[in-house]
Amino acid sequence: MIVVNTEFIPGKRIREIKGLVQGNTVRAKHVGRDIVAGLKNIVGGELKGYTELLVESRREALVRMLGQAEELGANAVLNVRFATSSITSGAAELYVYGTAVVVEDEAVSPASEGKIAAEPV
């Protein structure tokens, strides 16, 4: 599965648009992480517990989005974007979305070899 945050993939053409796909997860803060974060606020530095939580959340949301794309028969997701929002005090949602498509290699004719192809319309 090709996943990009651009509108097209160089060397590929969009054969079919399958539609919007999304994945999300809502995570609550952990008391242990809050204690460590409070101490880090005093001395400064990276809040590694929260960084790990965000990495896990991004991965889970992305897996869910890619699962939707596969169910639709897509082989790529374009214009991928991540967003976060606060749900309640202490809980946040990580949301990822994009456009599921089927792409194929662009046909290269002998006349166009060596030339830069025009951007897709």
- The predicted pLDDT at position 114 comes to 55
- The predicted pLDDT at position 72 comes to 98
In a domain, 117, yes or no: no
- Looking at 11-108, which runs of residues are DSSP E strands? 12-28, 76-88, 91-105
In a domain, 115, yes or no: no
- The predicted pLDDT at position 60 comes to 97
Number of compact structural domains in the chain: 1
- The predicted pLDDT at position 110 comes to 55
Q: How far apart are CA 25 and CA 47, in angstroms?
A: 20
- The predicted pLDDT at position 120 comes to 55
Residue 70 is part of which domain span?
2-105
Q: In what order do the strands lie in the sheet with 2-3?
A: 2-3, 76-88, 91-105, 12-28
- The predicted pLDDT at position 25 comes to 94
CA distances from 75 to 22, 27, 65, 95, 108 (A): 15, 29, 12, 21, 21
- For 47, the 3-state DSSP assignment is coil
Give me the phi and psi of 7, to 5 degrees please. Answer: -85, -15
In a domain, 112, yes or no: no
Q: Which tokens hold the place of 3?
A: 């996943």
Q: Taking the chain (121 residues) in consecutive chunks of 10 residues, what is each chunk's mean pLDDT? A: 96 97 87 52 68 89 98 98 86 93 82 54 48
- The predicted pLDDT at position 50 comes to 76
Q: Which tokens hold the place of 92?
A: 């946040």
Q: How far apart are the first and last CA of the chain?
A: 23
Mention every residue, 6+ apart, whose C-beta is less than 8 A from residue 118.
none
- The predicted pLDDT at position 24 comes to 96
CATH number for 98: 3.30.110.70
- The predicted pLDDT at position 10 comes to 95
